[in-house]
Structure 1
Amino acid sequence: VSSKEIVQQLIENSTTFRDKTEFAQDKYIKKKKKKYEAVITIVKPSTRILSTMYYAREPGKINHLRYDTLAQMLTLGNVHAGNKMIVMETCAGLVLGAVMERMGGYGTIIQMYPGGGPVRAATSCFGFPKHFFDNLHEFPLSKVESLLSGTFSTEALPSEPEGNALAEEESNGMSHEKQVTEEEPTTDAAMEVNQTEEQETMDISTKDVEFKENKEKEMKENVREKQRKQWERRKKLIETAALLRERNSDGLIVASKFHPTPLLLALLEFVAPSRPFVAYCQYKEPLLECYTRLRERGGVVNLKLSETWLRNYQVLPDRSHPKLTMSGGGGYLLSGITVVLDKDRSDSSPSEAMKMEEPSSKRCKVQDLHC
């Protein structure tokens, strides 16, 4: 039985359907279709679809980041193709995926991550082609301080895995030959004494030898693969550090569960002047503290702390109106533009800064009163 037949049967058996108004009948039919019709639509993943899905099902994984707030972040961060962006987020890779989608595979993205490695669960859901990840770099937050102080260094890179593999094979071959030459006289004597016993145990011994050889080969391959991955990881780390040392990034986006103040103060050092930055937080108080610290530090202009407001509307013929329920809050955004930091002014005392800001006439009156 199809769903249309079920809905038609329900309409025919309903005693109150004919007495309802036209709007009520449409509502009744839609309600029954929604209940009995199973429609599956396959759509291409996008930032809006994934952010809506995460916000509806698992908002804690994306720090309760609403899709309209994410759109504001991309706009305030001036994300476009060809940019060199720094992204620090703990939203399961949703913000990173949104930036990659907006840039379209052109430009450079440096992802800062805490812990042992980046989390990109949502990024993998976008289905980006392979070349999108060619310009994606990653750098741990634990090494940012050493990079800023100039003490950043990696351990000595291991030699290329191919050279190690060849050396291991040669050494293993030489040792195997030595073992064979040493065992020749003993095996000859044993064969003269117990030829019959060796023939019986030959099959078993050959199987054991083959099993051991295969196991040793697997272990060697695993070691080589591990060395190769470590070598590639360290090579990428050095390349990312070189990109950060240039300090010419075109933008900074922070959406983390950590306090935004130390993150912004550290990562703004890698952003070029006259470039935008934006930080997201679920709560207002951490961003207020960050706002105050940035104003005291200087080097930024056009600082704004904002909250996005979203309300859904029902749009239907002759009955369009805002919906009764709406989202309570989508988080807060702190945005601004970097400028060249005046070190002389930042190093001066607060009293000297106040004197510099006071008008000349006011300073004269204050000096006369002291006299």
Structure 2
Amino acid sequence: MTSIPQDIPGEPNPLRALSLDRLRRRTSMKWRTYPEDVLPLWVAEMDTPVAEPVVRAVTEAMERGDTGYPHGTGYAEALAAFAGKRWDWDGLAAERTALVPDVMLGVVEALKLVTGPGDPVIVSPPVYPPFHPFVTHLGRRVVEAPLGADLRLDLAGLEETFRQAVAAGGRAAYLLCSPHNPVGTVHTEEELTALAVLAERYGVRVVADEAHAPVVARGVRFVPYLSVPGAERGLSLMSASKAWHLAGLKAALLVAGAGAAADLARMPEEAGHGASHVAVLAHTAALRDGTAWLDALLAGLDDNRRLLAELVAERLPGVRHRPAPGTFLAWLDCRALGLGGDPAAAFLERGRVALMSGADFGTGGAGHVRLNFATSPQVLTEGVRRMAAALT
């Protein structure tokens, strides 16, 4: 019989703080896209309250009337301090950062710096769905180098794709997702170093989406791409948005390696104007003062990873699931269930539970679903119950 994990002493588990009734009062995308009888376990919003240091920073800004335009490098300095303590990386220099509205708009700005119209941008599906439309809307060409069967970077496949991408001349970029959404892979230092070697060999510029960087299982090491040898010409996007449930407070940082400083200097200053000053204050407070809250969250996510694995084994034996240490998202292989290429549609219609369709993640996604387990154990248990009921 599956047991629901209990709280441990110390900072309370934020995933257990809110009842389903309270969550349903929210007006964000997760809770308003579907009818009220649908249990939403789809988009990457967490079912947590906001960390107290963040609430305090935003409240004090409201009380001061501090709602103007962002200024200064406090966000970058907080991120650099966090990176030093959390990832043992002291190479994040505030002077090689730029404020951008959010991670994906920052990706667009980075790609503008290192590619031109019609140039190839390589991605490794199954991968975060916005990669494709943002790249194509920018006027670049998406080229796929899928993950391997083990859901890790296929370095041999990447090398061949890099070779072909630059064969006709022009410039090429690789859009890295780290940790990898939706499969949860946390790339190792060896893998990222090998990627950097390939990128330099073929002249491919790496742009890393590291939005989920703080969200890794305890005991697992996240390695920033820019920290590995040979990655000096890379660019990275980082934000406190995912780890501290701040997606609606828009702010992110574009970080340049030492060899990309001149590229970053070419970015027009107005590219960062869409970031919110209040959001910058919130993200800064999260990175600076919200680490105890983050640690409690990560403990709760570890419990939920174990719980989900137990629930799937007990109630969805036809589903193949490899618990992964990165993000708060689970990638479920439902191809053996006979639900066709879009099992999420069947789970929604028959079970009234909303999941992300694997087909949206590109090659390798058909027959899969992505489940957001950043919720209470009770809601997670009910979600899997509904999925099982949809199969009867």
TM norm structure 2: 0.29
Query: Which one has the largest radius of gyration?
Result: 1
Higher relative contact order (CA 8 A, sep 6+): 2
Q: Of Structure 1 and Structure 2, which has the larger fraction of its residues in helix?
A: 1
TM norm structure 1: 0.31
